[in-house]
Structure 1
Amino acid sequence: MFKNYLKIAWRNILKHKVFSSLNAGGLALGIASFLLLMLYVTYHYSFDKQFDNINNIYLVENNQPGDGKIYTFAATPQPLAPTIKTEVPDVVRAVRTITYTAEGLLTYKNNSFKKSGMFADDGFFDIFSYKFIAGAPANALKQPNSIVITEKLAKTLFGSEDPMGKIVKRNNQLPLQVSGVIEDVPSNATFKFEFILPWIMFEDSNPWAKSSGWGSNFARTVVQLKNPGALPAANRIMKGMVGRHAEGNKNVLFLYPFSKLHLYSKFEDGKSVGGMIDQLQLFTTLAICILLIACVNFMNLSTARSEERAKEVGIRKAIGSSRSSLMGQFITESVILSMLSTIIALALVVLSLPYFNQLLGLELVLPYNKPLGWLIIAGIGVLTGLIAGSYPAFYLSAFEPIKVLKGMFKGGKSALPLRKVLVVVQFGFAVFLITATICIYKQIKFVQSKSTGYDKNNLVEIPIEGDLSKNVNVLANQLKSSGAITSATVFQQSINESGSNTWGVSWPGKRDDETILFDIFRAGEDFTKTAGVKLLQGREFSAGNPADTAGTTVLINESAQKVMKLKSPIGSIINWGDTKLTVVGVYKDFVWGSPYEKTRPMITPFANNGNSVMAMRLNPDRSITANIDAINKALKTVNPFYPPTVNFADSDFEQKFKDEKLLATLANLFGCLAIIISCFGLFGLAAYAAEQRVKEIGVRKVLGATVFDLTALLSKDFLKLVTIAIVIAIPVSIWAMNQWLQKFEYRISLSWWMMALAGLITVVIAIATVSYQAIKAALANPVKSLRSE
């Protein structure tokens, strides 16, 4: 029987090539969109799942009260890890890690490569089950001069040589012995590195870290428990740990599951409130909706052909076919068509995946070597066929043979209300996606158009590494003399990367119960001139001023002046911990962290040493290419062992909008696909409507109806449905986008024109889709349609 079903189904598909093509094309686009989105979603859900004991691994998070709320971050004190091992039962291991100072130049023989790394305590590889190609995890980080490298880095440094035991130099100074080689770190891992160094090496190169106490937060602490059931007891002990070791410190530590870190990284008032999971839920919903739209197309086109299939159903029922066998026949047809669409969809995914990966900056791949993955894809195809064919099967198999064979049946009417509802749902979803795309783009443009407080254009940053740390002034003077730059300064960290902050600032008149978090941005002389920050009062730092070089002066931003209520800030004395600082200048607020958040009060001490960035203002009277060539040439002279690296401040600033731009791009891309799929169905329905009314059109044309009249006649019913879709979708869009906008401190207000534009675009698309068939029918020769009358 099943063989017979297949044969009849295949004949029906071939007999109605246009409708079959529209159905297959719509389903293929729907399934391809679904697969692409789910590949992206699955990639993020699989973060860190490669580790064997991931459910027993935790990251220590730090809740810090202040400004009337609780700030949560993963930076913890240096003594925390050994204290946890001592005071918390059921802890297997606790290790410290740090990444921001580990990047460096690795040299073997005459080859040097700048690579990213991290520092970690011995025991890191006992917690995280990285696969070792050479060496053993138990002793990989025991020696203070050891280094563990990835397989890719091993090939880069040593080629075909055995890397074990080889000596490499870090930053052209410190000799390191390779103690292990691990498989390359996958892109869906929280810790990303190409090499790992022992923690003791970090302390040796940063003496302050070894002696730092419970008030200094800079390390990430990873803890392994015996089992997840030990978590509540461990968190009860950790809750007051900082206070027990540092009297008066109100920080509260807690263990947070490492497996949730990627998806649930956003905290408000000390509690997890989401993060990446919000975006994934949105994309999952989008994927399901697009697939359902494709299924809706199938249902619409199948039920629209009801009159054509009615006689077939009537004859088969008259000769004894049961309703269940007819349903089986129609379901089989839809599943076959769906499986064909799935094959086409896979081809589309293979062709589009490289461009999709380039868009996302990821390495998504189909599960070629995973049978389960192919079973899931096949299951999606079958399930889509069952969903798409379910209503047509119930509807078509319900025809009464007596009415059909007597000619009393008029197909399509009983299915008409549902078809109308489905068309409304399709285009309502299209209106929502268009509105969302417009809103997201406007929000991004709104924040981008806000003043950053500094001049991004012609501002570049160079990492201070190797010999450059002692040649900063030499390089600056050389480039000024050559005319490549107009000014230069140093920062402790990039102007585009927020970092250090403190609660320890006090000033005259500060209340005892007042706790304000201040950003700390260290900078050298010519800071405001180079960065393009407006100096409102006072003066710049000067290397020739003894007070500046002694570290007893400070610049503050205007937000700090407002918080401190300093009417005459220049000359005021403020305290940073036990250090008294004299305010010598006030500068305009600039965006340091997220451009979506309000600027915090900031202090800028003079940067004497330990700086990581040299900033330079390019000469606008020369070409950028000439300026950069001059900088690269000079860098090779003063810092010959390091490859020149020049970062443009405007490009780095744009990276802050990466997530929102990705959301807008995906909404735009898959919104267009959803509209195209909807148009497939509308095109098919318009074609069928024109076919059903061919004699009516002929009569009207003979009686004098114009092409415009006939086109309007065939289009008005569909435009009514699209109008209803717009009316329903607009309030839903307003509610949803207002909810999304609430997470931004600086946000746009939804305007009526956004809804109007979304509705207009939808109407134009619908008219363009329907009009082709309507005009084609209106232009047809009425003689051909009426010759049998």
Structure 2
Amino acid sequence: MFRNYFLTAVRNLLHHKTYSVINIAGLSFGLACVLCILLYVNDEVSYDRFHHHTEQIYRIDKTVSKEDGRVSTGSYTGYFPGPRFAAKIPDIQQFVRFQTTYADIKNGSEIQSQTVSIADANFFTVFNFPLLHGSAATALSRPNSVVITEDVAKKFFGSTDVTGNTISIKGQEGFTPYEVTAVARNCPQNSSIRFEIVMPLQVSAADENKNENWFNSFLTTFVVLSPGAELAAVNQKMNRVFEADANESISLIRSRYGIQDIGISYVLEPLADIHLGKMVSSENESLFNKSNPTYSWILSAVAVFILLIACINFVNLSVARSSKRAKEIGIRKLMGGSPQQLMIRFMGESFILCIAAFALALVIVSAFLPVFNQLTSKALSLSYLLQLKSLASCAGILVITGLLAGFYPALVLSAYQPVKTIYNRVQAGGGNYLQKALVVVQFSLATFLIAGTLAIFLQANFLTTQKLGYDDSDLITVNKAGLSRKDAALFKQLLLEQPGVAGVAFKNQDFSGNTVKVNGETNINVIVETPDEGYLPLLKAPILSGRNFSAAFASDPVNAALVNETFVKEAGWKEPLGQKIESIDGGRSYFVVGVVKDYHFKPMTEKVTPQLFTMNPNNDYGTAYIKIKPGTASASLLCVSKTFSKLFPLDPFVYSFKQEQNENSYAAERRWKKMILASAMLTIFISCIGLFGLSVLSAERRTKEIGVRKVLGASAGNILALLSTGFLKLVFISLLIALPASWLATNQWLQHYPYRITLSWWLFGASGLLVTGIALATVSFHSLRAAMANPVKSLRTE
């Protein structure tokens, strides 16, 4: 019986090739999109779950409460939380500290700057990163041991079996040889912890005994809890230990700076929650590949939308075609076929078509996966679908698709009455109300996605084209840690002798956070900048009031400061010039000599925060800003490189163009713009496939009517309007539903950006016109053929 059902279903699909192709094409593209998104989401939720005891590993996060009520949680801690908590809390079995920094590596005569990680000796026993060579237990047990990845081993030595070899790493006393004690596999792509070279963490006796180190924040601390440990109880114990152990330092800070509430507490975050977690924001995150879970939800919703649209196509076409199979159904019922048997037959046809579409979807995914990987910055593989969870998900998608696409058409077809079907008195789909409703749902989803795509496109364009408040064109940055004032002056002198160099300035390398006191009581968190007097003029950052730093004022390096507009607003100053600023960490006082116009020193995805500019001679420079003349990039870079190598032969020449740095800050926005655009185009394509099929069936059902109307004098335009009006009404209804919903959704999404576009009516109007135009073009294609057909042939149609 089932063999007969199968053969009949295959013959029926082959007999109606056009509709089979339309249905398979729509379903296959929809399923291909779903499979790609399934691969992406599975990868996102799998982060850090490859370790053997992931459920017992937690990261210590530090929460700081501000005086204005704001709470900030960061993942950076200092030396103390790990060992002090582990010593006094029995639930903590182990701790491991991890820090990523940069160091100069010498291999033979070659010197290059390389990312280097520093970790406790038990790093490779707590975390299960596979080792190709060496022992996890002893890899970091000796002070001058080092673990490298297989890629680093091949780059430095040409092979992976290199234990016992040495590399030289630059420290405070010059280059020191380190013995390679283990070679690790490259970090999995779904790991938040990433490393290339790992050195043992060494804490001096002075740092171990300096109680103020409770307030340092520069590394990440993980702990392993006992099985069954209660998380809330451990959090409480940690904070009790902190209050008791750091009591002396807390009292010192309170008395020295007049701060009553330190506002620091510690909380544990599960390792598996870090990648998609919202406990720590991206700017306060110490690990890599932090992702926004909203993206996974958006993509999952897009996948559901696209699959639903593909299933709606199937239902609509199947119900619309039902009149063509009415006689077949009537005869089968007269021959004794029960409604249950007919339903099984039609469901079987649906599943056969879904299986064919799924097979084609796998081919499409295989072909387009490299493009999808480029869009998502991942390295996904079709082999990931062979994992047990993925196989179960695929089977579930196939069954759900088959049921969604086939159940209602099978129910409608099996319910036909044999007498009516024999005499062609069947009206498919109960007046086609469901079919019309499904078309409305389909184009509502398509319109919603298109409006969202336009909003994302405009926001991404806004971020990448908005003026930053300073000139980043033809600006090169060169890193040199610990650059003294004397060396900076010599470097600048030699650079300005080069014909392609228009200007040079220096500043500290990284953003340095601090807290200062103004008005005798208000604490403000600031970004501390240490530039020379040429930095702001080089960037063309305007000074709104007061003056810039100047060599004419001998006191500027000691107590002069510039602040930005945001600083002035937070301080509540009406007249900022001459105001006093006290640094709470070093006891140094500054007086404001100028106010700098706000500029976006960080990406526009982050709000401009208070800036404090000083010329504190205790702070070294770390970055040279070199303005070159337009059109001289190659020659100028060569001159800068030679000058740098001449002055600093033991340091690698690391440079970048500031404009490129700024553009790379919005890589995620550009990536999501492309992904959502591709999703919207696919949605429209699948919707139009279904609409095209319906228009073909509509024209076929009304062939004689069209012939009669043409004989009676109807023009081709009249016929075209007759066939298109019904579909366009449904599209207009879908616009009335989708456009308000898309406005609400896009407006909510834009709230995540501190700087954003203003939603305008034309954005949604353009979405509506685009959808209407595409729908009209789709319907008109076959309707025009029917309108232009010879009426004699139409009247002969049976």
Does the pair score TM above 0.5?
yes
1:371-429 deviations in whole A, cap 9, x for unaligned? 53456435533432232111111111111112212x05224251611110111011001
Q: 3-state SS of the aligned residue for 1:148?
A: strand
Task: Compute the displacement of 1:82 (Å).
Answer: 1.5
For residue 267 of structure 2, what is the aligned residue in structure 1? 254
**Match of 1:116, as an amino acid?**
T
Please identify, of 642-651 and 367-376, the stretch whose mean Cα deviation from structure 2 is larger: 367-376
- The answer to whether the Cα contact below 8 Å between 2:504 and 2:627 also exists between their aligned partners in 1 is no
**Of 400, 411, 423, which residue of structure 2 is paired with 1:383?**
400
Counterparts of 1:466 and 1:344 in 2: how far apart (Å)? 59
Task: Compute the displacement of 1:243 (Å).
Answer: 3.6
Counterparts of 2:297 and 2:221 in 1: how far apart (Å)? 30
- The answer to whether the Cα contact below 8 Å between 1:167 and 1:175 also exists between their aligned partners in 2 is yes
Q: 3-state SS of the aligned residue for 2:163?
A: coil
Task: Compute the displacement of 1:185 (Å).
Answer: 0.3
Counterparts of 1:588 and 1:34 in 2: how far apart (Å)? 48
Task: Compute the displacement of 1:262 (Å).
Answer: 0.9
For residue 156 of structure 1, what is the aligned residue in structure 2? 155
**Of 713, 724, 738, which residue of structure 2 is paired with 1:704?**
713
Q: 3-state SS of the aligned residue for 1:169?
A: strand
For residue 414 of structure 2, what is the aligned residue in structure 1? 397
For residue 534 of structure 1, what is the aligned residue in structure 2? 542
Aligned pairs for 1:427-442 within 5 A: 427-442=443-458
Counterparts of 1:319 and 1:447 in 2: how far apart (Å)? 69
In the alignment, structure 2 segments of 5+ residues that lack a partner are 255-261
- The answer to whether the Cα contact below 8 Å between 1:459 and 1:615 also exists between their aligned partners in 2 is no
- The answer to whether the Cα contact below 8 Å between 1:35 and 1:349 also exists between their aligned partners in 2 is yes
- The answer to whether the Cα contact below 8 Å between 1:557 and 1:587 also exists between their aligned partners in 2 is yes
Task: Compute the displacement of 1:302 (Å).
Answer: 0.7
Aligned pairs for 1:263-342 within 5 A: 263-266=276-279, 276-342=292-358
Q: 3-state SS of the aligned residue for 2:202?
A: helix
Counterparts of 2:484 and 2:785 in 1: how far apart (Å)? 74
**Match of 1:402, as an amino acid?**
V
**Of 351, 360, 384, which residue of structure 1 is paired with 2:367?**
351
Task: Compute the displacement of 1:336 (Å).
Answer: 1.3
Counterparts of 2:109 and 2:410 in 1: how far apart (Å)? 73
Q: 3-state SS of the aligned residue for 2:191?
A: coil
1:655 maps to 2:655: no
Q: 3-state SS of the aligned residue for 1:174?
A: strand
**Match of 1:370, as an amino acid?**
L
**What is the number of equivalent residue pairs in this alignment?**
772
TM-score in terms of structure 2 length? 0.91
Cα–Cα, structure 1 residues 597 and 104, in superposed 2: closer, same or farther, change >3 Å?
Answer: closer
Please identify, of 537-546 and 672-681, the stretch whose mean Cα deviation from structure 2 is larger: 537-546
Please identify, of 474-483 and 626-635, the stretch whose mean Cα deviation from structure 2 is larger: 626-635
**Match of 2:762, as an amino acid?**
W
1:556 maps to 2:563: yes
Cα–Cα, structure 1 residues 408 and 340, in superposed 2: closer, same or farther, change >3 Å?
Answer: closer
Task: Compute the displacement of 1:589 (Å).
Answer: 1.7
**Of 510, 516, 530, which residue of structure 1 is paired with 2:520?**
510
**Match of 1:575, as an amino acid?**
E
**Match of 1:97, as an amino acid?**
F
Task: Compute the displacement of 1:153 (Å).
Answer: 1.2
For residue 257 of structure 2, what is the aligned residue in structure 1? none
Cα–Cα, structure 1 residues 306 and 161, in superposed 2: closer, same or farther, change >3 Å?
Answer: closer
Q: 3-state SS of the aligned residue for 1:89?
A: coil
Counterparts of 1:525 and 1:40 in 2: how far apart (Å)? 49
1:522 maps to 2:533: no
- The answer to whether the Cα contact below 8 Å between 1:527 and 1:541 also exists between their aligned partners in 2 is no
Aligned pairs for 1:367-766 within 5 A: 367=383, 370=386, 372=388, 373-374=390-391, 376-405=393-422, 407-414=423-430, 416-464=432-480, 471-494=487-510, 499-503=511-515, 505-507=516-518, 509-511=519-521, 514-541=522-549, 547-549=555-557, 551-566=558-573, 569-577=576-584, 578-606=587-615, 608=617, 611=620, 613-640=622-649, 644-766=653-775
Task: Compute the displacement of 1:209 (Å).
Answer: 12
For residue 104 of structure 1, what is the aligned residue in structure 2? 103
**Match of 2:514, as an amino acid?**
T
**Match of 2:535, as an amino acid?**
F
- The answer to whether the Cα contact below 8 Å between 1:556 and 1:603 also exists between their aligned partners in 2 is yes
- The answer to whether the Cα contact below 8 Å between 2:482 and 2:621 also exists between their aligned partners in 1 is no
Q: 3-state SS of the aligned residue for 1:307?
A: helix
Counterparts of 2:338 and 2:72 in 1: how far apart (Å)? 67
**Match of 2:413, as an amino acid?**
L
Please identify, of 687-696 and 111-120, the stretch whose mean Cα deviation from structure 2 is larger: 111-120
Counterparts of 1:672 and 1:94 in 2: how far apart (Å)? 50
Please identify, of 757-766 and 538-547, the stretch whose mean Cα deviation from structure 2 is larger: 538-547
Q: 3-state SS of the aligned residue for 1:339?
A: helix
- The answer to whether the Cα contact below 8 Å between 2:412 and 2:429 also exists between their aligned partners in 1 is no
1:506-540 deviations in whole A, cap 9, x for unaligned? 23x333xx332222223233120223322234444
Please identify, of 429-438 and 244-253, the stretch whose mean Cα deviation from structure 2 is larger: 244-253
Q: 3-state SS of the aligned residue for 1:420?
A: helix
For residue 786 of structure 2, what is the aligned residue in structure 1? 777
1:267-323 deviations in whole A, cap 9, x for unaligned? 59xx99x97222211111111111111111111111110011111111111112222
Counterparts of 1:236 and 1:210 in 2: how far apart (Å)? 24
**Match of 1:185, as an amino acid?**
C
In the alignment, structure 1 segments of 5+ residues that lack a partner are none
For residue 14 of structure 1, what is the aligned residue in structure 2? 14
Cα–Cα, structure 1 residues 788 and 42, in superposed 2: closer, same or farther, change >3 Å?
Answer: closer
Cα–Cα, structure 1 residues 527 and 240, in superposed 2: closer, same or farther, change >3 Å?
Answer: farther
- The answer to whether the Cα contact below 8 Å between 1:76 and 1:217 also exists between their aligned partners in 2 is yes
Q: 3-state SS of the aligned residue for 1:574?
A: strand
Identity among equivalent positions (%) equals 35
TM-score in terms of structure 1 length? 0.92
Counterparts of 2:566 and 2:160 in 1: how far apart (Å)? 58
Counterparts of 1:624 and 1:531 in 2: how far apart (Å)? 18
For residue 54 of structure 1, what is the aligned residue in structure 2? 54
Cα–Cα, structure 1 residues 597 and 106, in superposed 2: closer, same or farther, change >3 Å?
Answer: closer
**Match of 1:189, as an amino acid?**
S
Q: 3-state SS of the aligned residue for 1:533?
A: coil
For residue 77 of structure 1, what is the aligned residue in structure 2? 78
- The answer to whether the Cα contact below 8 Å between 2:531 and 2:621 also exists between their aligned partners in 1 is no
Task: Compute the displacement of 1:662 (Å).
Answer: 2.8
Cα–Cα, structure 1 residues 442 and 162, in superposed 2: closer, same or farther, change >3 Å?
Answer: closer
- The answer to whether the Cα contact below 8 Å between 2:477 and 2:626 also exists between their aligned partners in 1 is no
Task: Compute the displacement of 1:140 (Å).
Answer: 1.8
1:660-717 deviations in whole A, cap 9, x for unaligned? 3333222211011011000000000000000111111111111221111111110000
Counterparts of 2:443 and 2:570 in 1: how far apart (Å)? 51
1:409-457 deviations in whole A, cap 9, x for unaligned? 2242516111101110110011111111111222333444544222222
Task: Compute the displacement of 1:22 (Å).
Answer: 0.4
Cα–Cα, structure 1 residues 226 and 545, in superposed 2: closer, same or farther, change >3 Å?
Answer: farther
Q: 3-state SS of the aligned residue for 1:137?
A: coil
For residue 119 of structure 2, what is the aligned residue in structure 1? 120
**Match of 2:273, as an amino acid?**
K
Counterparts of 1:160 and 1:569 in 2: how far apart (Å)? 62
- The answer to whether the Cα contact below 8 Å between 1:149 and 1:196 also exists between their aligned partners in 2 is yes
Q: 3-state SS of the aligned residue for 1:213?
A: helix
For residue 188 of structure 2, what is the aligned residue in structure 1? 186
- The answer to whether the Cα contact below 8 Å between 1:331 and 1:393 also exists between their aligned partners in 2 is yes
